[in-house]
Amino acid sequence: QQKMTSTFLLIGHLIPLIPLFSAEECVICDYFVLVGEPTAISCPIITLPVLHSDYNLTWYKNGTATPVTTERDARIHQREGLLWFIPAALEDSGLYECGVRSLNHSNQKTINLTVFKNDNGLCFNEKMKFEQKVMSKNTGKIICPDLEHFKDEDNNQPEVHWYKECKSGFLQDKRLLLAEGENAVLIYNVTVQDRGNYTCRMIYTYMGKQYNISRTMSLEVKERPLQIRPEFIYPKNNTIEVELGSHVVMECNISSGINGLIPFWQVNDEDVDSFDITYREQFYEEEMPHGLAVSGTKFNISKVKVKDYAHKFFCHFIYASQQFTAYIKLERPAQNIQGYLIGGGISLVFLVFFTVIIYKIFKIDIVLWYRDSCRPFLGKK
């Protein structure tokens, strides 16, 4: 849990530090393209291109000082801040640099382009698949990404054709529908059979020549958990008998369809490690079949002490801004002095209870006796 907190802190500190011209996480950003297909690469340090249009962006081949040409009919050229390969050839693989200069700033970034061939007998390369996920039983969407730079002369997006495992025709399934104007396929009532490799391909025409542009998505189907609402597996508001001085593992776990729920223990209205410094909670999370997750927290009571019998140990978690609670109570086994004392206490309670009952009955008897004995004097009413 401590580790998680520090990660959060780190992220929290990093976010405000990212400057306008920022390098994204990649030190050298990787780009991929299939041989024979066009690609347009944008410089990864431009995060806010619209706000800061007063900069000059220049592309260089790695290690050269002369900029890449701006001639539109060169196979490799730069245009509108993008580095174009129309189309890419195997020997284009390598490093390229983009330099950004504004009035008082300059920055540069190296990118690594790899030109792939299709895997044998396939219409894609295993190493350049986009991962996409859909949830079973829901409506899912497969998106053909990164096509925005490839408009034809009329500024229309050319028609996109779809393939599953490199074969067309899968769209005949009534559950599948082309999403108009979105370069996407909708899948209704997703099933596990929908997972697979989907390829979209369009014909791009540039300077009168036609090129293929394709993307392959590996679609994963996540099984929707039957039970989303979290439930305690343990404890169940139960009592367990433990000997004084014995070792107990106090475990609390919940089952749900949600990752990242964090249960925690409290006792006597404080965290367990405030109650006893040796009670150190350990958090865990496990993936279970059918999309379920088990989140738990546990701590050791290495030697049960007298104070541990005095309170209930509560396990809490928060879900949908509601707090859920279950407890466990430690009890000493019956055959000991403490047990007898509790037993004695209970007898005393019973004695008082019986006295009250007897007194009540007795009081009624007294009234009745009194009435009976007075009746002759009261006469008929």
Under the binding rule (CB under 6 A), the answer on residue 233 touching ligand NAG is yes
CA–CA distance, 55 with 65 (Å, rounded to integer): 19
Under the binding rule (CB under 6 A), the answer on residue 104 touching ligand NAG is yes
Under the binding rule (CB under 6 A), the answer on residue 237 touching ligand NAG is yes
Under the binding rule (CB under 6 A), the answer on residue 197 touching ligand NAG is yes
C-alpha count within 13 angstroms, C-beta hemisphere, residue 48? 8
Binding residues for ligand NAG, how many (CB under 6 A)? 44
Distance of CA 356 to the CA centre of its chain: 61
CA–CA distance, 224 with 191 (Å, rounded to integer): 10
Under the binding rule (CB under 6 A), the answer on residue 318 touching ligand NAG is no
C-alpha separations of 218 from 63, 87, 124, 132 in Å = 36, 24, 11, 6
Question: Per the structure block, which two tokens stand in for 147?
Answer: 């096509």
Residue span binding ligand NAG (CB under 6 A) among the ranges 264-272, 323-331, 335-343, 367-375: 323-331
Shortest CB 95 distance to ligand NAG, Å: 5
Angle among Cα 92, 96, 99 to the nearest 5 degrees reads 150
Among 72, 280, 305, 363, binds ligand NAG (CB under 6 A): 280
Residues 149-178 that bind ligand NAG (CB under 6 A): 165, 174-175
Residue span binding ligand NAG (CB under 6 A) among the ranges 5-13, 69-77, 93-101, 303-311: 93-101
Residues 210-229 that bind ligand NAG (CB under 6 A): 210-212
Contact 271, 264 (CB under 8 A): yes
Secondary structure of residue 4 in the 3-state scheme: helix
Under the binding rule (CB under 6 A), the answer on residue 327 touching ligand NAG is yes
CA–CA distance, 72 with 82 (Å, rounded to integer): 12
Among 24, 126, 241, 331, binds ligand NAG (CB under 6 A): 126
CA–CA distance, 381 with 373 (Å, rounded to integer): 16
Contact 204, 148 (CB under 8 A): no
Shortest CB 178 distance to ligand NAG, Å: 14
Q: Which residues contact ligand NAG (rule: CB under 6 A)? A: 28, 30, 52, 54-56, 62-63, 94-95, 101-105, 112, 114, 126, 165, 174-175, 188-189, 195-197, 210-212, 233-234, 237, 251, 253, 280, 282, 294, 296, 298-300, 325-327
